[in-house]
Amino acid sequence: SILSNHKPHNSFPPDFVFGAASSAFQVEGATKDGGRGPSIWDTFCEQSKDKVAGGATGEPGAGSYYRYKVLSNKSNLTEAYRFSISWSRVLPKGRGTPNRQGLQYYHKLIDELCSHDIEPFVTIFHWDVPQALEDEYGGFLSRKIVDDYVNYANLLFTEFGGKVKHWITMNEPLMFATLGYGTGMFAPGHCTPDLVYGGVGYSCPAGDSIREPYKVAHNILLAHAEAVSLYKNSFQAKDKGQIGITLVSQWFEPYDNQIATHEAQKRALEFNLGWFLDPLKFETTLSMRSLVRDRLPIFTEEESNKLKDSFDFIGLNYYTSAYVKDRPYNYTDEPTTCYDDPQIDITPLRGGVPIGPHERDSWVYVYPKGLKKLLLYIKEKYNNPSIYITENGVLEYNKDHHFMPEATQGANPIPSTPIDDIFRMEYHSSHLHELEDALSSRADVKGYFVWSLLDSFEWIFGYTCRFGLTYIDYTTNPDHPDLTRRPKQSARWLKRFLSNIKKHKLYETQETADIVM
Ligand code: GBH
Q: What is the DSSP secondary-structure string of 338-380?
A: GGGTT-EEEESEETTEESS---TT-S----THHHHHHHHHHHH
Q: What is d(CA 251, CA 269) in angstroms, rounded to the nearest whole number? A: 8
pTM of the full structure: 0.95
**Substitution site in 171, 318, 319, 403 for ligand 1 pocket (most atoms within 8 Å of beta carbon):** 319
Please tell me which residue in 79, 134, 172, 436 is annotated as part of the active site. Answer: 172
Q: Are 166 and 241 in contact (CB under 8 A)?
A: yes
Q: What is d(CA 9, CA 16) in angstroms, rounded to the nearest whole number? A: 13
Query: Is 183 a pocket residue for ligand 1 (Cβ < 6 Å)?
Result: no
Query: Is 422 a pocket residue for ligand 1 (Cβ < 6 Å)?
Result: no
Query: Is 339 a pocket residue for ligand 1 (Cβ < 6 Å)?
Result: no
Query: Is 175 a pocket residue for ligand 1 (Cβ < 6 Å)?
Result: yes
Q: Which residue has the least CA distance to atom 19 on ligand 1?
A: 363
**Substitution site in 374, 451, 452, 461 for ligand 1 pocket (most atoms within 8 Å of beta carbon):** 451
What angle do the packed helices 100-115 and 145-160 form, to 10 degrees?
50
- For residue 30, report the distance from its CA to the centre of ligand 1, in Å: 23
Q: Which residue has the least CA distance to atom 14 on ligand 1?
A: 363
> Which residues lie below 8 Å from residue 205, measured CB to CB, with a gap of 6+?
193
The pLDDT score that the predictor gives to residue 511 is 39
State pLDDT tens for residues 349-380. Answer: 999 999 999 987 899 999 999 999 999 999 99
If residue 291 lies in a helix (H) or strand (E), which one and from where to where? helix 286-292
Query: Is 455 a pocket residue for ligand 1 (Cβ < 6 Å)?
Result: no
The pLDDT score that the predictor gives to residue 509 is 41
In degrees and rounded to multiples of 5, residue 90 shows phi and psi of -95, -25
Q: Which residue has the least CA distance to atom 24 on ligand 1?
A: 175
Active site residue 172: yes
The pLDDT score that the predictor gives to residue 70 is 64
Q: Are 107 and 70 in contact (CB under 8 A)?
A: no
Q: What is d(CA 456, CA 462) in angstroms, rounded to the nearest whole number? A: 8
Query: Is 363 a pocket residue for ligand 1 (Cβ < 6 Å)?
Result: yes
Q: Are 126 and 186 in contact (CB under 8 A)?
A: no
In degrees and rounded to multiples of 5, residue 178 shows phi and psi of -80, -40
Ligand 1 nearest-atom number relative to CA 246: 4
The pLDDT score that the predictor gives to residue 5 is 54
Query: Is 123 a pocket residue for ligand 1 (Cβ < 6 Å)?
Result: no
Under DSSP, is residue 447 helix (H, G, I), strand (E, B) or coil?
A: strand
SS3 content of the chain, % helix, strand, coil (to 5): 40, 15, 45
Q: Which residue has the least CA distance to atom 15 on ligand 1?
A: 363
Query: Is 317 a pocket residue for ligand 1 (Cβ < 6 Å)?
Result: yes
Q: Are 472 and 455 in contact (CB under 8 A)?
A: yes
The pLDDT score that the predictor gives to residue 510 is 41
Q: Are 243 and 167 in contact (CB under 8 A)?
A: yes
Q: What is d(CA 35, CA 115) in angstroms, rounded to the nearest whole number? A: 27
The pLDDT score that the predictor gives to residue 517 is 31
Q: Which residue has the least CA distance to atom 21 on ligand 1?
A: 363
Ligand 1 nearest-atom number relative to CA 172: 4
The residues with which 21 forms a beta bridge, in sequence order, are 82, 451
Q: How far apart are the first and last CA of the chain?
A: 15
Query: Is 248 a pocket residue for ligand 1 (Cβ < 6 Å)?
Result: yes
Other beta carbons within 10 angstroms of residue 270's beta carbon come to 20
Q: Within the chain, which residues score under 50 in pLDDT?
A: 1, 4, 72, 404-405, 407-408, 509-517
Longest CA–CA span in the chain (Å) reads: 68
> Which residues lie below 8 Å from residue 83, measured CB to CB, with a gap of 6+?
21, 22, 23, 24, 27, 109, 120, 121, 122, 123
The pLDDT score that the predictor gives to residue 204 is 87
Sign for the CA dihedral angle at 374, 377, 381, 383 comes to positive
The pLDDT score that the predictor gives to residue 401 is 66
Nearest to 60 by CA among 21, 24, 30: 30
> In whole angstroms, how far apart are CA 152 and each of 92, 97, 107, 232, 351?
11, 11, 16, 16, 49
